């Protein structure tokens, strides 16, 4: 899909979805350029770089991996649902602080494992919420 088509689909659907999900307090920016270093990531279709305290986010889409309108809407929904579960980032932030203020570091295997479990749980709850929303 080309960038213009992708942008059009986002323009037609984002506002309605943001309102439905109650994300009106967020400053949401959409980006259609592939971030550096993601050329070889075969799973990347979209990602969100969010700051939960200031409620600002940049959601990036990879036009090369989004072939249909249905897929674009699905990725848009997934990235927006990430904002709903963003409050769990407080746990990661606290764990980060804890490791930084002790003799451990965030490269410690204990932190790496905890962070992997955290990331996995975030993806699972995001998928579950999306599954529920898709049935409505």
Binding interface with Zn ion (CB under 5 A): 123
d(CA 56, CA 27): 5
**Rounded to 10 degrees, what is the CA torsion of 56, 31, 16, 74?**
-110
Q: Do residues 100 and 72 make contact, with C-beta atoms less than 8 angstroms apart?
A: no
Q: How many residues make up the chain in this entry?
A: 136
The smaller minimum CB distance to Zn ion, of residues 9 and 78, is found at 78
Q: In whole angstroms, how close is the CB of 114 to Zn ion at the nearest point?
A: 18
Task: Give me the least distance between CB of 78 and Zn ion, in Å please.
Answer: 6
Dihedral angle over CA of 76, 1, 33, 112, nearest 10:
50
Q: Which is nearer to Zn ion, 19 or 123 (CB)?
A: 123
39 vs 123, beta carbon nearer Zn ion:
123
CB of 125 to Zn ion, least distance (A): 10
Tell me how far, at minimum, the Cβ of 1 lies from Zn ion, in Å: 20
Separation CA 61–CA 48 (nearest Å): 9
CB closer to Zn ion, 83 vs 99: 83
Choose between 79 and 111: whose C-beta lies nearer to Zn ion: 79
- From the list 82, 77, 46, 42, the residue with the least C-alpha distance to 63 is 46
């Amino acid at each position: 899909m080309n960038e213009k088509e992708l942008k059009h689909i986002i323009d037609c659907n984002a506002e309605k979805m943001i309102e439905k999900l109650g994300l009106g307090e967020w400053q949401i920016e959409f980006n259609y350029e592939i971030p550096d270093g993601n050329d070889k990531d075969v799973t990347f279709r979209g990602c969100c770089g969010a700051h939960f305290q200031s409620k600002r986010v940049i959601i990036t889409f990879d036009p090369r991996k989004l072939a249909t309108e249905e897929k674009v809407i699905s990725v848009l929904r997934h990235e927006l649902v990430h904002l709903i579960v963003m409050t769990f980032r407080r746990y990661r932030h606290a764990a980060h602080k804890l490791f930084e203020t002790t003799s451990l570091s965030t490269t410690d295997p204990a932190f790496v494992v905890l962070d992997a479990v955290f990331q996995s749980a975030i993806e699972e709850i995001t998928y579950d919420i999306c599954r529920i929303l898709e049935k409505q």
